[in-house]
Amino acid sequence: MDQILKRCPGTLGISDDVCVFGRTEEEHDKNLLNLMEVSRAKGLVFNSTKCAIKQPHISFYDLIWDEKGVHPDPAKCDNIKEKPAPTTVKELQQFMGMIQYMSPFIPKLSSHTDPLRKVLHKDAAWQWTETHQKSFEKIESLIQKEMTLSYYDPNKATVLEVDSSLTGIGAALLQDGKPIAFASKSMTDTESRYANIERELLAVVFAL
């Protein structure tokens, strides 16, 4: 199916699900018609009972897509916010796994999770201090904020912002001051000892 979708602009396929989109209704209809024609020629069949046409918003692979942009699933956000502070390594691992779902929506997430990741280091003794609790509460507070990623427009000016700290580096892709994407990564022990200008350059390389 991937080979078929390469010939169909305005489509996104994951596994056996396909999303058709457009900046206008006319563009959407054109892309949908093209998908139908190419699929017919290639023998690709869709299940009509699972098709939803011209939806103002959809849930597609745990994300909400609408005219404003892409949002995390509110149910998943609520599930994370309702989690109590972990009391075991296993509970912390589960929480960190859930947080990864939010990584595209939270700037500098790696820096916020740094104290929690250190608890999960091999041979590290379990401990939950005030520092860990503050990190946990900070992450939950970020999830409570409005999180929307705007759609990328190739006709608009694009700004790439980067930042670094002793614990992580982050990047944000912006258009009209609105986020298109966020990315972050933790620092290794070696990287954390870089000079400030070296860490900033590392952030640029990571972002690009």
Neighbours of 77 (CB within 10 A): 19
CA-CA distance, 24 to 22, in Å (whole number)?
A: 5
pLDDT digits (tens), the chain, 208 positions: 777 888 889 998 888 889 998 888 999 999 999 999 999 998 888 888 889 898 888 988 889 999 899 999 988 889 888 899 999 999 999 999 999 888 899 988 999 999 999 999 888 889 999 999 999 999 999 987 778 999 999 999 999 999 998 888 999 999 999 999 999 998 888 998 999 999 999 999 999 9
The torsion defined by the Cα of 20, 23, 25 and 29, in degrees rounded to 10, comes to -40
CA-CA distance, 53 to 203, in Å (whole number)?
A: 42
Neighbours of 9 (CB within 10 A): 14
183 DSSP β-pair partners? 171
Quick one: pLDDT at residue 22? 87
DSSP, collapsed to helix, strand or coil, labels residue 53 as coil
Smallest Cα–Cα separation from 9: which of 17, 208, 25, 27?
27
CATH class of 74-208: alpha beta
Average pLDDT in the chain:
91
Quick one: pLDDT at residue 129? 95
pTM score, two decimals?
0.78
The CA-atom distances, in angstroms, between 140 and each of 1, 95, 106, 144, 191 are 39, 11, 11, 7, 28
Q: Please state the domain extents for the chain.
A: 2-54, 74-208
Q: Return the structure tokens found at 74.
A: 């509110």
DSSP assignments along 90-154, one per residue: HHHHHHHHHHHTTGGGSTTHHHHHHHHHHHTSTTPPP---HHHHHHHHHHHHHHTS---BPPP-T
CA atoms within 13 A on the CB side of 126: 8
What percent of the chain clears pLDDT 90, i.e. is strictly above it? Answer: 56
Q: Is the dihedral of CA 86, 89, 94, 98 positive or negative?
A: positive
